[in-house]
Structure 1
């Protein structure tokens, strides 16, 4: 049986598509969809950078730079965001798939399909960040859909706010989706699988907070 990847059908008719994926002996369009998603990630991060999201440090020192130096700084920032988008999309697609493959023995390609859906949802979340920043003035770590806004009332420690800011309704849906998807292929007890998925996301939230802090320091070193 051949299965052609249709991510939105998997999102909205999950049970039927899970059955088809489970029975499939051949997967078509997998790498084509991977490329499309990576290009989409580049486009979204490029757009965010073009709109000035995350350029606060550059804008803050604009008066000290010549016009050429300022435009060059913005260009490097946009190119850096495009490179980050490639690394981000590739990481989401392939690294968790490898971990779950080693843990469960589920065919790697079928796990990549799962991560394609995860990446779609994460890109949708990033699109939502744009109006929140532009029209409401809320950065991602204090989005009303995350726990970061609650953490910001409890503490002023940046890493803690960034960590809880990474925990969003989108992330909770992704955890549910991954547990349900993997459970359809694996005989591992569902609660054991849930613990493993949550642990992976916990590490991901820690890494997100560290990268966000590191990004701030790097920008400060380049443009400060």
Structure 2
């Protein structure tokens, strides 16, 4: 059976899509979709840097540096965002499936296809966060989609707020999709699969919080 990779269909009809993927013997359109999402991730990351999303630490230096240095700092930030787009794409699309493959003995390419749907969700969230940042000056830690706003009422630690801000309805959506496929494709107990997915998600949230908390101005 040939499985045709259709990102939108996978998000809107995950049960039918994953049933077909589980039975599939080959996939059509996989690598073009991988290249597409890689490219979109880099573009979105560059746009985030271009619009100054999460550049508060750089903006604070405006009053103490000349215009050329400030623009250079912003350009470096955007470049760093672009590199992060590459790193995150590789991590989500290849490292995570490799980890699942090593523990669950599920076909790697099927895990990669599953992660294409997951990564599409991540990109949708990042696009919305850019819009919130440009229109309302809201960053990830204060996003209405995540737990960052609620966490602000009980703590004031920036790293913790960024971590809880990463736990959003989009991340829960991604966890749900992974669980729905892996419980079909693996003989492992559903509780084991869920704990594994949550563990991987926590690692990604910590990674994202640490990266977004880098104080850019200390590099200069």
What TM-score range do you get, normalising by the shorter chain? over 0.9
Partner of 1:221: 218
Which one is further off, 131-140 or 194-203?
A: 131-140
User: 2:54 aligns to what SS in structure 1?
Assistant: coil
Deviations 1:114-170 (A, max 9, x none): 111111101111111123223333210121111111111101122221221111111
Counterpart of 1:33 in structure 2 is: 33
The answer to whether the aligner puts 1:86 opposite 2:86 as a matched pair is: yes
Shift of 1:188: 1.5
Secondary structure of residue in 2 paired with 1:187: coil
Separation in 2 of the partners of 1:221 and 1:88? 23
Structure 2: how far apart are the matches of 1:204 and 1:195?
A: 14
How much is the aligned-residue C-alpha RMSD, in angstroms?
Answer: 1.6
Number of the residue aligned with 1:161: 161
CA contact (8 A) 2:57 2:217 kept: yes
Secondary structure at 2:27 match in 1: strand
Partners in 2 of 1:79 and 1:124 — Cα distance?
21
For residues 6-40 of structure 1, give each alpha carbon's deviation from its aligned partner in whole angstroms, at most 9, with x where no partner exists: 11111122222222212221222222111110100
Distance 1:167 1:220 in 2: 27
Normalising to structure 1: TM-score of the pair? 0.91
Q: What TM-score does the superposition give when structure 2 sets the normalisation length?
A: 0.93
1:116 aligns with 2:113: no
Q: Which moved more, 1:46-55 or 1:176-185?
A: 46-55
Alignment partners' CA distance in 2, 1:137 and 1:50: 14
Stretch deviating more after TM superposition (143-152 or 10-19): 10-19
Structure 2 residue matching 1:3: 3-state secondary structure = strand
Q: Comparing 58-67 with 155-164, which one deviates more in the overlay?
A: 58-67
Q: How does 1:54-133 map to 2 (within 5 A)?
A: 54-133=54-133
Unpaired stretches in structure 2, ≥5 consecutive residues: none
Unaligned residue ranges in structure 1 (runs of 5+): none
What are the within-5 Å matches in structure 2 for residues 184-203 of structure 1?
Answer: 184-203=184-203
